[in-house]
Structure 1
Amino acid sequence: MAPTPLSRPVQRPARQPDRRSSAEQADVWLERCWQRGWLQRPELHPAALMKAAAGAVGLSDFGLDNGWRGRLERLCEALAQEAALTSLGTTIAYGQLVAALANRLRAAALWQRRPEILEVPIERPIIIVGQMRSGSTRMQRMLACDPGLTFTRFFESWNPLPRRMHKGFDDRIVRGWFALRLASWLNPQFKIIHPASAFAADEEIGIHNIALYGAAFEAQWRIPSFARAGEAADCRTVYEEFRAYLQTIRWLRGDQRDRPWVLKIPQFGQDLRTVLEVFPDARLVVLERDPVSVVGSSASLVHNQMAVQSRSADPLWIGREWLAKTALRKQRIDEGLSRHSGPSVTVDFHEMQLDWRSEMRRVYHSLGMPFTSDVERRMARFAARRSHARLRRHHYDIADFGLCEATIRRALDDAASDPARQVAA
């Protein structure tokens, strides 16, 4: 007997996989939680952020106001008026700013208890000066292979002070590892653009975040008013505080060895004159790369970051903004170098690609350091790592950002020939 229509098995359509990215899924989930009252919508207002940080840490003294409150106010205003943050972007911004303020609270308390920290020597640092995407991470990690030098690890940059240390357990390591895992889940492409791990040498951009300063914010969010204010500001107190955080990291390590520190943030180029005032005995490794590649790769990185958090990740605006930023930094680097009389060496990106051994040997000679066979072997192991080779998979097209070679070269040539000229964003 043939089955009747009612007795036939029901054929349910196959469930289609969710094609949205992890970031898009997280954004939808957060908005739903806020609408239903399951979670409270984060408030990006200075008073609310400071209250949240104080509640999390159990402290209330943020220390000396060296300009950070004004920067926080400008940043919050720009986030509200310019950034067009998604729900995920709002949550990320809230988390970053509360964490920065919590670090300020911990630092103020520690420096008050242990003022000797601010006497810890930071002598003859090796400062890498170069545009974003000029090979600065490669140079920093090459130099970090040398056991005679020291460097900032990723988890130290973003969390210079632990919440607690108990019998050798340092919560900063766990927090650094978790932050990288979360970032990889939300934005898998970023680990190709900038590979990182908790213990690897990394730029001190997290310390700038604690100062509520710098391009780490500008690379994530569309905040031109904050960027222009930072470009025009006197940043000496930022770098005096930056030095204090380095002293704190060294003190927490208990490292008594007088090893020169390898420092790297692309922001150094924009602020080079001030950096050299705060670190007058610095030795410089100056990086150069074809400006078309610098601007194109920078715009690609910024678009990758901004698209995760903003409804206004306009590639044409990003192209204009980072062309102007690159030109400004070119001007500032040239001016700073003209005032520097200490050891300095210039390294070309392409030459480093062709023969890193010869270039590193030249760097060591210029800085007055021995390039030993042990150091060379360590660098060779780093150069052979898959994470380093992964950078070659970063592809972009400058036309996607409304740029062409002629426009980029003209802007950088103008910056070099006329230091007073400002390139319009």
Structure 2
Amino acid sequence: MTWRPPPRPEWVQAVNAGHVLPIADEARLPLRRDDLLAEARATLGIDGRGADGFGDDGFLEPLAVLLPALGDEAELSLLGRWITRRFLLRLLEVRAQTVAYVRADPGVRDEEIREPVFITGAPRSGTTVMHALLARQPGTRVPEGWELLRPVPPPDPAQYPDAARVALADRELRRPALVVSGLDAIHEYGGRMQKECVSAMSFEFRSEEFTARYRVPSYVEWLGACDMRPAYEWHRLLLQILQRRNPTARWMLKSPVHLHSLPTLLAVYPDARLVCTHRDPLAVLGSVSSLVATMRYAHSDLVDFAGIGAYHAELYGGALDGLVDLAAGKVLDADRVHHTRYESFMRDPFVTTRTLFDALDWPLTDETEDAIHAHLVDNPRGAKGEHRYSFDDLGLDHAAERKRFARYQEYFGVPNEDGS
């Protein structure tokens, strides 16, 4: 088995050939910073020049790295350029709307985020399912797609969800699955579905959302060395806005990207609880590389699958080794960090979830237990199709990768899935 680009509808070929003129004309516009800022301001009716209206100018540096990378490195198709332009404009428009809202209601920054729970771990290690199951606990809130894409104004409990914003978010989040068949079998996206933290961090343009969608090596290099504190501060601000009119006892959050920035996360959320998921890294590499390749194929005709595999091997080799360093060095408070293993979770998700409820000191009522079982019944594994992937497709050396991840697997007791 080798990775092959999944089928795309005929209309995608027509768009990429330039036959749909409104999209083609917009897609051919250069992705220039000042042009995008001006267009976002014009859409919102904001006066100004340069970065006026967009708040602290710390986002300009990553944007200045990202835009040339998109133009010179990502090899975007015509449709990919159009999707990307709309994506960037939405980020800038919502950023400006958020800045205006906070200026009008500065007290929103006093909203207290109490003991949020962050699920993290290597991607494709069960974080999404666990996110959904732990959210069955009453008083726990999971941000939905529409909330993280369009958080302002604060959602009104009397009109929740906001149908107009749900529709806008759903249109954007569903777009890649319309372009590339089979994406839903790997990971489903939607306006009312749970959304992970990476989307909140994109408003600061310090986010792996960009590296998942695009081949942008110069931006990858910048992101790996940058200060992630501004992205986490923005993340916190969005949670404060989302709960301003809708009080929230506890946020349930998740993203694999937190592995790279745990000290920063804990500096911004000092009372956070962590749930770390663990899975055979070689299985992770095969699965996440398949997801990223499929996502990139929605934006480009040229996908370097071997390069994607090598990138993730290096990225998560460092991240998981860093997790061992933090755990062994007692940097992470053992009472606030809880670990689960993928094979145990997949074998009996309810038992693992119940164990986590105990570890988090949460009561597991009959109603919550019923809700967990109902979610498992209503969302069986593979309901959207089979996700087929293999480490062997990546062209990586099996023995070398086993050696790379040996320290992590030994420390956390993570078994091999391939019997090696």
- Structure 2's unaligned 5+ residue stretches are 1-6, 412-420
Q: Does 1:325 align with 2:315?
A: yes
Q: Secondary structure at the match of 1:91?
A: helix
Deviations 1:392-425 (A, max 9, x none): 711012222212432322222367899xxxxxxx
Confirm or deny: 8 A CA contact 1:75 1:226 kept in the other structure: yes
Q: 1:302 aligns with which of 292, 306, 310?
A: 292
Tell me what 1:279 maps to: 269
Q: 1:209 aligns with which of 190, 196, 202?
A: 202
Provide closer, same or farther for how the CA distance between residues 41 and 195 of structure 1 changes in structure 2, counting only shifts above 3 A.
Answer: same
Provide closer, same or farther for how the CA distance between residues 371 and 71 of structure 1 changes in structure 2, counting only shifts above 3 A.
Answer: same
Q: Equivalents in 1 of 2:386, 2:116: separation in Å?
A: 32
Q: Secondary structure at the match of 1:368?
A: coil
Tell me what 1:107 maps to: 98
Q: 1:400 aligns with which of 393, 396, 408?
A: 393
AA matched with 1:25: Q
Provide closer, same or farther for how the CA distance between residues 287 and 26 of structure 1 changes in structure 2, counting only shifts above 3 A.
Answer: farther
Q: 1:347 aligns with which of 335, 340, 343?
A: 340
Confirm or deny: 8 A CA contact 2:174 2:190 kept in the other structure: no
Confirm or deny: 8 A CA contact 1:288 1:349 kept in the other structure: yes
Q: Equivalents in 2 of 1:117, 1:26: separation in Å?
A: 47
Q: 2:82 aligns with which of 91, 94, 106?
A: 91
AA matched with 2:42: G
Tell me what 1:289 maps to: 279
Deviation of the 1:23 alpha carbon: 6.7
Deviation of the 1:224 alpha carbon: 1.2
- Structure 1's unaligned 5+ residue stretches are 1-18, 419-425
Deviation of the 1:33 alpha carbon: 2.4
Count of paired positions: 395
Equivalence map 1:18-417=2 (5 Å): 21-22=9-10, 24-30=12-18, 33=21, 41-59=28-46, 60=48, 61-65=52-56, 67-161=58-152, 168=159, 170-251=163-244, 254-256=245-247, 258-337=248-327, 338-341=330-333, 342-386=335-379, 388-390=381-383, 393-413=386-406
Q: Equivalents in 2 of 1:416, 1:237: separation in Å?
A: 32
Q: Equivalents in 2 of 1:384, 1:228: separation in Å?
A: 43
Deviation of the 1:170 alpha carbon: 4.5
Output the aligned Cα RMSD.
2.6
Q: Equivalents in 1 of 2:187, 2:91: separation in Å?
A: 22
Deviation of the 1:123 alpha carbon: 0.8
Q: Equivalents in 1 of 2:264, 2:25: separation in Å?
A: 47
Deviations 1:270-293 (A, max 9, x none): 111100111110111110001111
Deviations 1:252-273 (A, max 9, x none): xx223x4110111111111111
Deviates more, 1:119-128 or 1:175-184: 175-184
Confirm or deny: 8 A CA contact 1:157 1:205 kept in the other structure: no
Q: Equivalents in 1 of 2:373, 2:337: separation in Å?
A: 24
Report the TM-score when normalising by structure 2.
0.87
Percent identity, aligned pairs only, is 26
Confirm or deny: 8 A CA contact 1:194 1:391 kept in the other structure: no
- Structure number, greater radius of gyration: 1
